[in-house]
Structures are given as structure tokens and as C-alpha cells.
Amino acid sequence: MTKAKPNTLTIAGSDSGGGAGIQADLKTFRALGTHGLSAITAVTSQNTRGVTAVHTVPLAHVRSQIEAVFADFPVAGVKTGMLGSAAITRLVAKELAARQPAWLVVDPVMIATSGARLLDENALDALTTRLIPLADILTPNLPEAEALLGRRIGKAFDEAGADLLALGARGVLLKGGHAGGREIVDRYYDAHGVLAFRHPRLPFEGHGSGCTLASAVTAQLARGKSPHAAVRAAISWLDKAFRGAWRPGGGAVHVLAH
């Protein structure tokens, strides 16, 4: 037998196109040397051009997937992605609060780049009051951060970072991709202050990049890195993945298609 790998769990939605969601998470977990477990919250009918349908999984079955996984595997890290509804968000928060995994990364997935809604509008309250306070790291992009704060951020990143931290996560990775400009600046906020990560913008948007980054952070935490080191390693790994990205269908470029 080979040496055991840490087990990492993604609680998220399926992307039939294999670019985002559960599929991106499991590819990332594998690439970074962890064993990927999954609890699927929603099944999207999707390809590189967009989402055509969403079916949320019944609550009892979301719960039983989480139960099955925790009953057997030592879970070193958990990542949440698309949760679909307020009821699923509340359930996931309740299950995770009871189990207290060593690391929890919450990616507050709301709307796909293609415009499809991946979280009901009335789920925002459950996300901010129940799930986010349990998170070690919250990973919003700018539109998600604005939805969580209920206001425009503009260039006031540090104020936004402080207000997002006040929602209760131990750390916030505020992703700067939507800010425009040739360089992307991602900022990580925690009780010690802010760390900025700068990288050049590539000339395409990568479908699934948010899911991939949050999973990479989770895998790095599960492998023993500190939050700072995990965020740094995940961002530089995603940069490399972006450089190998390609277009497997007729639409969006997939970050982890290779």
C-alpha cells in the first residue's frame, strides 16, 4: 500500500461540462495529492456555453451523503461551493457545525460567469449568518463580496475586507479578477492584516477558476500548510493551471481541461 493521502470533501454542484463545480474540485484535489470526497447539492445541465437546467438534490440526500462520508473517512478539509437553496445552505451549515472539520473553505458561489443563478436570492441570509461564521477561509470574488455586503466596493478593498471578516470567517480571500486592469490583485485578510497577491491577467476568462482556487486552498490546508501558505501556493498553482487551459467545447476556456 502507498502512503495515505489526506481526505478532502467538496460539498457543491455538478457541472456536466466538467469545467467547474464538483468536477473541477475533484480534479484539483487529485492534482494536489488529496483523496477527493463529494456531497452533491445540485446537478446542473451545463456545457462550455452555459447552464440550461438546475436540479437541486433533496435535503435528505444531501444529508446522507455528508453522513456517509464522515462516518467512514477522517476528513482533513472541507470546501463548499454551489449550494443552490436556502434550505441546503442551512442544512450544510448545521452538519458542518456538528462535525467541526479541521479546515473549512467557503466559496460563496452565487451566479455563474455565463449569468446562471446558482444560489437562490433568499439564501443570502443563511449563507452569511450560518455558514460563513464557520469558515476558516471565505473566497468571494468582487460581485459576490458586494452581494454579501449589500453595497458597492469600488476601490475600497480594505474596508470591504474588514467588513467581510466581520461576518465571522477567520480569513477572507477577496479575489480581484473582476476589478479590470492588466494585473489581478487578490487580497487575503485575517486578524493580522492584509497580504496582496499580484499576477498578470491572461487574455481569457477561465470557466471554473473560482471552484478550482477554493479547492486548491482546501487541499493545501489539508496537507498541513498554514492559511497564508495555502493561499499563496493555491494562487501560484492556479496561475500555472491557467497557462495550460484550453477550450474543450465551443465556448468557455476550461482551466483544468488538460
Residues lying near ligand PLP in the complex (CB under 6 A) are found at: 12-13, 15, 20-21, 44, 46, 81-82, 109, 112-114, 118, 207-211
Q: Which is nearer to ligand PLP, 195 or 249 (CB)?
A: 249
Q: Are 173 and 139 in contact (CB under 8 A)?
A: yes
Smallest separation (angstroms) from ligand PLP to the CB of 80 = 10
Q: Which is nearer to ligand PLP, 7 or 48 (CB)?
A: 48
Smallest separation (angstroms) from ligand PLP to the CB of 4 = 28
d(CA 82, CA 62): 13
Smallest separation (angstroms) from ligand PLP to the CB of 244 = 17
| Grid coordinates belonging to 227 | 492559511
**Nearest residue relative to ligand PLP (C-beta):** 21
d(CA 109, CA 202): 22
In angstroms, how far is CA 35 from the centroid of its own chain? 17
Smallest separation (angstroms) from ligand PLP to the CB of 150 = 21
87 - beta bridge partners? none
Strand, coil or helix: 188: strand
Q: Which is nearer to ligand PLP, 139 or 220 (CB)?
A: 139
54 - beta bridge partners? 44
d(CA 159, CA 166): 11
Q: Which is nearer to ligand PLP, 190 or 256 (CB)?
A: 256
Q: Which is nearer to ligand PLP, 21 or 77 (CB)?
A: 21
Smallest separation (angstroms) from ligand PLP to the CB of 74 = 26
The residue type at 127 = L
Which of 221, 230, 116, 124 is closest to 167 using CA atoms? Answer: 124
